[in-house]
Chain A
Amino acid sequence: MTDLIRLRAVSKRYEQTGPPALDGVDLTVAAGEAVAVMGPSGSGKSTLLNLVAGLDRPTSGDVEVAGTALTRLSEKALARFRRSGIGIVFQFFHLIDDLTARDNVLVPADLAGIGRRAARARATELLETLGVAGRADAYPAQLSGGERQRVAIARALINRPPLLLADEPTGAVDAATGEQVAELLRELNRNGQTVLLVTHDADLAKRCATRTIEVRDGRVTA
């Protein structure tokens, strides 16, 4: 199996003084894997995810995703990479309030310049797969927490990214919905989707991940 994510000696400091958020992290994730990153609050989990997503730059070290060295890319190239290279699911969904569920799902496709008809067909397919096709014309405020997260997952997948990043995807939903989200991630991985999951929920990690790593004080400890 080829490596989809490769981190080499990655460190990240937000301030000159004080401890680093990440300290010399080496990590590889193979295509098709579902890796859970666990650790307590402030351990560096989200920093790790931001670096893999190209949302932030390491202070030192190399980050490579799907064969692309992110550290060498300009902001514009990073944005283009995010469009099709990764999909992100957030704890608080981060849907755009004044767009319907379908239009939220279509945003990455629109930004990537995918034809309207093809994009709509893909959005419909994803919404149906995720069980929220009936809510396609609803606004986020009209959706339940579970529905919002499904829409967010559909949005993350619309451009068929090789990597799906999930940052505490069940952190803001009730237990039953969390269960559905976990099942969805597991199903996606079974179908070949590489998943990097950041969570402090051991049960979720156990259910969704094929491998679990632990981050403490900015270092990968297990």
Chain B
Amino acid sequence: MRAVLIAAMSSARRRRLQSLVVFVVVLLSAATTLLAAALLIASDAPFDRAFTRQHGAHLNAVFAPSASAFDDPAVTARSGPYPIVEATLSKGRQQRPPGVVAGRSEQSPAVDRLELTAGRWLTGTGQVVLSPITAGSTWRVGDRVTVRDVDLEVVGIASSVTATAAAWVWPGQTDVLGGAGQQVLYRLSDPSATPDLPGMTGSTRYELVKLQVEGRLKPMVPFVVAFAVLGLVMSTLIVVNVVAGAVVAGYRVIGVRKALGFTPGQVVAAYAGQILLIAVPAAVLGTIAGRLLSVPLLAGANTAYSVIAAPSVPWWADVLVPAGLTLLAGLAAAGPALRAGRLSATRAITMGRAPRGGHGFRIRRALAVLPLPRPITFGLASPFARPARTAVTMVAILLGVTTVVFAAGLSKSLIALAAAGNRVEQVPILVAVTGRPPLGDGDAVRAVIEDQPGTAAVTTARETEARVPGSGLPLSIRAYQGDASWTGYPLLSGRWYAEPGEAVAGARLLSSFGVRVGDELTVSTPGGRTTVRIVGEVFSNGSTAVMIMDAAGLGGSPGLRGFEVSIAPGTDPHAYAANLNAALGETAHAQVSAETQENEIVTAMLALIATLTLLLTAVAGLGVLNTVVLETRERVHEIGVLKTLGMTPGQVRLMVISSMLLIGAAGGALAVPLGRLLHAWSLPIMGDAAGLTLPSPVLAVYRPAELVALGAAGILLAAIGALVPAGWAARSRASTALRAE
């Protein structure tokens, strides 16, 4: 046993660089695994978890200022009444859309416990706490904002899971609150119950908020889950590859030890022990690093999910991740060590020392006649001399580049998905209407927008809830006044509506009501019954069934949703929105659609994907470095000979880097179709999971030039992995290399 332990420790010490690479790979893999697990946790029912944790309000009720009775038997807990007012917050020229400002002294009452993400809670008048949506990315603690002409200091940023207010001020801030209404937040014994509250003038149920949040999230969750799973799988494969490669490199030593009397079991124990000596501290440190990294990442994820207070990674992950990775590394080492242990001593020494002949020699000869500098042909030929080592390197490159190809595709699909849903290119400006003076109604607002310099097109968007007679399922009808064919809904099949009796519909509507393009559908709206023919299917990323049609085809007067505006080429959307807001006054609010919350979610998601991609690429790069180091070490004698024969340090560098080029090119060439296949295979599955039919811009994201560039990433990864060992080889003294023999 002592001999085994000494052998394990001396091997780990002797091959310091290789031990370091295994250490860093296991460390990064542990960090990646923990992050991936954290991401999976964050994407699992984020709203429900936040709702439970924050004692979210089942019902957000608004009462008249004079109301005084707020209780009902169905109510199990309540917070409030809080005085509220709907107001616009501004900081300099920046203005937020009108929202509820509530007067509230308690941060954590029985219902709706607010979670602070920055600063502190209110202590008196003159202060305001903003919701994360109101704060956005530009308003911070310490800023001064104006609400109803009152100057307030931002002292904190806090989140309510059911978004009960855009901002909170001290109840005594009467110059802001002004007695417009009262807000009471309820927990109900039966969340679906409708309490009898006589003075209630308006309400929002939590199901609606949940539907909105999850509707925004649902299409994205499968993407995040897919990436987290990719992170787990890739980390596992790379650890196995690096560890197995390290053991294969030690075959000669295994043979020597067998000759000295080691049994196969002792050989396995020595190698597994050597790897475990490195893997255990690496996995523990990696888990700690992953946990530290997960704090900002989970915060980002939860901002993306519109909920805050990151769920912490459960304690068992801290045990499971290092234990799992250590076990994995041990098993990865035991496999090849067991094989080597079963070989005869001389066979193990031979396998660990001599390159394989046959095809390798013939290919080297064939390459030697190419009109290329000798160091390059030497380098290009070397992978063929050691097919097993080459396979290990190629797998490392394949995994790394596949990750990059898949991650790049996933990022582009996510952007395309958001663009398809938000239509930010076609509709760069959205205008919401408050109905307040000076303009009053929608027609007047539309006239102002049409007259605004830079306006290319404008359409009035109305919306109404509807039902299909005989069905209990609700559907939403979006009705446009005037031409709306330019608004950019991706058409999946059929055509855009051409007349009032026609409509296009989202996949959820078609599946919910069992209709197809070409069918007629009768819907019941507050304005009466209408029959329309579905002439096309459009992409819709919401969780509700949506039908889009001309407003002229609907009876009654559907509610005004706002205006969708296209601007002339070359017009700055921010300047346009600012000028339009100045012209609209308090009646309406124009916003650059790219800055809406949905797009901040995409940004946060992309940051997560980029972090994981970076980690995985680093792990893959280290895998390559590891194999090149092994390869260079093995060839140290040959390099020494070549140096004595007159190979310059530059030529040695060229030879070592060339030795990786073919492997890199082959790995990259295989990884591109593999990454594409993975993308093409997984995207529709993700779409199905989210109940979406994905439009072609979401699926066909790879351009030929990009694929060539991604394929070249294999060569780049291999070359980068080879750079450091190439430098060592170039600097090594020939006399030392020859003595090493």
Task: Let me know if A80 and B646 touch, CB within 8 A.
Answer: yes
A111 at the interface (CB under 8 A from B): yes
* Interface locus among A37-45, A60-68, A86-94, A191-199: A86-94
- Output the least CB separation between B526 and chain A (Å): 84
Indicate which residue in B355, B357, B360, B374 contacts A111 across the interface (CB closer than 8 Å). Answer: B374
* Interface locus among A49-57, A174-182, A211-219: A49-57
Task: Let me know if B648 and A103 touch, CB within 8 A.
Answer: no
Task: Let me know if B644 and A53 touch, CB within 8 A.
Answer: yes
A55-B733, A98-B357, A110-B374 as given contacts; A80 in contact with B648, CB under 8 Å: yes
The A-contacting residues of B in range 322-367, CB under 8 angstroms, are: 354-355, 357, 360-361, 364-365
Indicate which residue in A55, A76, A97, A110 contacts B644 across the interface (CB closer than 8 Å). Answer: A55
Task: Let me know if B645 and A99 touch, CB within 8 A.
Answer: no
In the complex, which residues of chain B have a beta carbon less than 8 angstroms from the beta carbon of A108? 645-646
- Output the least CB separation between A163 and chain B (Å): 13
A98-B355, A98-B361, A103-B368 as given contacts; A56 in contact with B735, CB under 8 Å: yes
Give a binary string over A73-84; 1 marks a CB under 8 Å from any B CB, 0 the rest: 001100110111
In the complex, which residues of chain A have a beta carbon less than 8 angstroms from the beta carbon of B463? none
Task: Let me know if A79 and B643 touch, CB within 8 A.
Answer: yes
A98-B385, A139-B357 as given contacts; A82 in contact with B735, CB under 8 Å: no
Q: How far is the CA of A99 from the CA of B365 in the complex (A)?
A: 7
In the complex, which residues of chain B have a beta carbon less than 8 angstroms from the beta carbon of A112? 646
- Output the least CB separation between A82 and chain B (Å): 5
In the complex, which residues of chain A have a beta carbon less than 8 angstroms from the beta carbon of B735? 50, 55-56
Q: How far is the CA of A56 from the CA of B644 in the complex (A)?
A: 11
Task: Let me know if A94 and B361 touch, CB within 8 A.
Answer: no
A155 at the interface (CB under 8 A from B): yes
Q: How far is the CA of A51 from the CA of B739 in the complex (A)?
A: 15
In the complex, which residues of chain A have a beta carbon less than 8 angstroms from the beta carbon of B354? 97, 141
- Output the least CB separation between A21 and chain B (Å): 11
Task: Let me know if B644 and A88 touch, CB within 8 A.
Answer: yes
Task: Let me know if A79 and B647 touch, CB within 8 A.
Answer: yes
In the complex, which residues of chain A have a beta carbon less than 8 angstroms from the beta carbon of B640? 94
In the complex, which residues of chain B have a beta carbon less than 8 angstroms from the beta carbon of A56? 733, 735
In the complex, which residues of chain A have a beta carbon less than 8 angstroms from the beta carbon of B647? 79, 111
Q: How far is the CA of A110 from the CA of B734 in the complex (A)?
A: 19
Q: What range describes how many residues of A lie at the interface?
A: 20 to 34
Indicate which residue in B638, B646, B651 contacts A96 across the interface (CB closer than 8 Å). Answer: B638
Q: How far is the CA of A97 from the CA of B378 in the complex (A)?
A: 12
Chain B residue nearest to A99 in the complex (CB): B364
Task: Let me know if A94 and B641 touch, CB within 8 A.
Answer: yes
Q: How far is the CA of A155 from the CA of B641 in the complex (A)?
A: 12
In the complex, which residues of chain B have a beta carbon less than 8 angstroms from the beta carbon of A82? 643-646
Q: How far is the CA of A100 from the CA of B650 in the complex (A)?
A: 25
B741 at the interface (CB under 8 A from A): yes
Q: How far is the CA of A83 from the CA of B641 in the complex (A)?
A: 12
In the complex, which residues of chain A have a beta carbon less than 8 angstroms from the beta carbon of B360? 98
Task: Let me know if A139 and B361 touch, CB within 8 A.
Answer: yes
Chain B residue nearest to A103 in the complex (CB): B368
A143 at the interface (CB under 8 A from B): no
A133 at the interface (CB under 8 A from B): no
A79-B647, A139-B357, A155-B645 as given contacts; A55 in contact with B734, CB under 8 Å: yes
A107 at the interface (CB under 8 A from B): yes
B649 at the interface (CB under 8 A from A): yes
Q: How far is the CA of A141 from the CA of B350 in the complex (A)?
A: 13
Q: How far is the CA of A132 from the CA of B375 in the complex (A)?
A: 26
Chain B residue nearest to A94 in the complex (CB): B641
Task: Let me know if B738 and A90 touch, CB within 8 A.
Answer: yes
In the complex, which residues of chain B have a beta carbon less than 8 angstroms from the beta carbon of A139? 357, 361
Task: Let me know if A83 and B368 touch, CB within 8 A.
Answer: no
Q: How far is the CA of A103 from the CA of B354 in the complex (A)?
A: 19
In the complex, which residues of chain B have a beta carbon less than 8 angstroms from the beta carbon of A75? 648-649
Give a binary string over B557-592; 1 marks a CB under 8 Å from any A CB, 0 the rest: 000000000000000000000000000000000000
In the complex, which residues of chain B have a beta carbon less than 8 angstroms from the beta carbon of A53? 644
Q: How far is the CA of A103 from the CA of B651 in the complex (A)?
A: 18
Task: Let me know if B649 and A79 touch, CB within 8 A.
Answer: yes
Task: Let me know if B645 and A97 touch, CB within 8 A.
Answer: no
- Output the least CB separation between A102 and chain B (Å): 10
Give a binary string over B664-688; 1 marks a CB under 8 Å from any A CB, 0 the rest: 0000000000000000000000000
Chain B residue nearest to A142 in the complex (CB): B357
Task: Let me know if B364 and A111 touch, CB within 8 A.
Answer: no
Task: Let me know if B374 and A94 touch, CB within 8 A.
Answer: no
Task: Let me know if A111 and B646 touch, CB within 8 A.
Answer: yes
Chain A residue nearest to B733 in the complex (CB): A56
Q: How far is the CA of A197 from the CA of B150 in the complex (A)?
A: 98
Q: How far is the CA of A175 from the CA of B741 in the complex (A)?
A: 24
Q: How far is the CA of A141 from the CA of B638 in the complex (A)?
A: 15
Q: How far is the CA of A179 from the CA of B673 in the complex (A)?
A: 62
Q: How far is the CA of A110 from the CA of B738 in the complex (A)?
A: 21
Residue picked from A97, A100, A112, most chain B C-beta under 10 Å: A97
A55-B733, A90-B738 as given contacts; A83 in contact with B645, CB under 8 Å: yes
Chain B residue nearest to A75 in the complex (CB): B649
In the complex, which residues of chain A have a beta carbon less than 8 angstroms from the beta carbon of B643? 55, 79, 82
B642 at the interface (CB under 8 A from A): yes
- Output the least CB separation between B370 and chain A (Å): 11
Task: Let me know if A76 and B641 touch, CB within 8 A.
Answer: no
Q: How far is the CA of A111 from the CA of B377 in the complex (A)?
A: 11
Indicate which residue in A50, A79, A84, A159 contacts B648 across the interface (CB closer than 8 Å). Answer: A79
Give a binary string over B374-410; 1 marks a CB under 8 Å from any A CB, 0 the rest: 1100000100010000000000000000000000000
Chain A residue nearest to B635 in the complex (CB): A96
Q: How far is the CA of A135 from the CA of B732 in the complex (A)?
A: 33
In the complex, which residues of chain B have a beta carbon less than 8 angstroms from the beta carbon of A98? 355, 357, 360-361, 364, 381, 385
Q: How far is the CA of A110 from the CA of B354 in the complex (A)?
A: 25
In the complex, which residues of chain A have a beta carbon less than 8 angstroms from the beta carbon of B361? 98, 100, 139
19 contacts between A and B (CB under 8 A): A55-B733, A55-B735, A56-B735, A79-B651, A80-B646, A92-B741, A94-B640, A94-B644, A96-B642, A97-B354, A98-B360, A98-B385, A99-B365, A103-B365, A108-B645, A110-B374, A111-B642, A111-B646, A155-B645
Excluding A80-B646, A96-B638, A110-B374, 16 further A-B contacts by CB distance (< 8 Å) are A55-B738, A56-B735, A76-B648, A76-B650, A79-B647, A79-B651, A94-B641, A94-B644, A98-B361, A98-B381, A100-B361, A103-B365, A107-B645, A111-B645, A111-B651, A139-B361
The 3 closest A-B pairs by CB, nearest first: A83-B646, A110-B374, A79-B648
